[in-house]
């Protein structure tokens, strides 16, 4: 099994953790990372861009001038796209950008993201992400000692100290462990996790792997 060092908020080592190889030492599959990040970014798009076609422009439908004899091109409406203020041809309309990626691929992408950070030494495991009082300065100093000023801070949603202390940090962000995702991991150069949150993620992804193996074996038996 892979091993990860555990430190406290001063950066002093306090022990080691044995972690699952298939979660923190898995092969990094870049195509899965790309698919999931693409899906997450698409989901953030509002999809509200809208332009008016010639049928929606508030202008008269009357013919501008007679068909022949004026020396002008033949036009039938001021709403045509060739006129300033006319309708837009093939312009954007409101629609959803939602993409679909199956659960097995999403779990594989998350394992790849965690393994990428672990292999590069950018995954910092802290015994407990808590302090005596809510203070942004204290957390900033701790992250500086951990060399993780630009980090994603992951712990349980009930950790009010970490939530409140990290609110005014310029480059670090708090994330509830239940919402840990590929996009947020990759957009921060460092990943700082409490020991408890790391175990929770490990259990979740190990369970997903076991479920996928059971599903594949049952399909093979049916065949």
Q: What is the domain extent for residue 70?
A: 47-96
Q: What is the pLDDT of residue 223?
A: 45
Q: What is the pLDDT of residue 220?
A: 59
- Per residue in 12-37, pLDDT tens? 999 999 999 999 999 999 999 999 99
Q: What is the pLDDT of residue 6?
A: 96
Where would I find the beta strands (DSSP E) of the chain?
2-7, 13-19, 123-126, 151-155, 173-176, 190-194
Kindly report the CATH number assigned to the domain that includes residue 190.
3.40.1370.10
Quick check: pTM over 0.95?
A: no
- Per residue in 117-131, pLDDT tens? 999 999 999 999 999
- Whether 41 and 57 share a structural domain: no
Query: How far is Cα 211 from Cα 223, in angstroms, rounded to an integer?
Result: 19
Q: What is the pLDDT of residue 214?
A: 47
Q: What is the pLDDT of residue 207?
A: 75
- Whether 136 and 209 share a structural domain: yes
Query: Which residue ranges of the chain lie beneath pLDDT 50?
Result: 214, 223
Q: What is the pLDDT of residue 218?
A: 54
- Whether 55 and 83 share a structural domain: yes
């Amino acid at each position: 099994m892979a091993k990860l060092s555990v430190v406290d908020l001063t950066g002093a080592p306090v022990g080691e953790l044995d972690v699952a190889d298939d979660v923190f030492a898995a092969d990094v599959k870049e195509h899965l990372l790309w698919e999931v990040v693409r899906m997450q970014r698409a989901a953030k798009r509002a999809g509200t861009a809208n332009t008016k076609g010639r049928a929606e422009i508030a202008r008269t439908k009357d013919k501008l001038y007679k068909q022949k004899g004026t020396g002008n091109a033949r036009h039938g409406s001021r709403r045509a796209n060739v006129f300033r203020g006319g309708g837009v041809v093939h312009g954007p309309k409101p629609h959803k950008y939602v993409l679909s990626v199956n659960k097995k691929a999403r779990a594989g992408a998350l394992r790849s993201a965690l393994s990428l950070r672990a292999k590069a030494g950018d995954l910092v495991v802290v015994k407990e992400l808590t302090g005596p009082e809510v203070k942004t300065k204290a957390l900033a100093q701790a992250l500086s000692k951990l060399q993780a000023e630009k980090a994603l801070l992951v712990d349980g949603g009930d950790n009010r100290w970490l939530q409140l202390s990290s609110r005014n940090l310029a480059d670090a962000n708090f994330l509830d462990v239940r919402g840990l995702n590929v996009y947020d991991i990759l957009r921060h150069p460092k990943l700082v996790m409490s020991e408890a949150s790391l175990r929770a993620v490990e259990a979740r992804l190990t369970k997903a792997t076991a479920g996928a193996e059971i599903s594949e074996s049952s399909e093979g038996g049916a065949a």
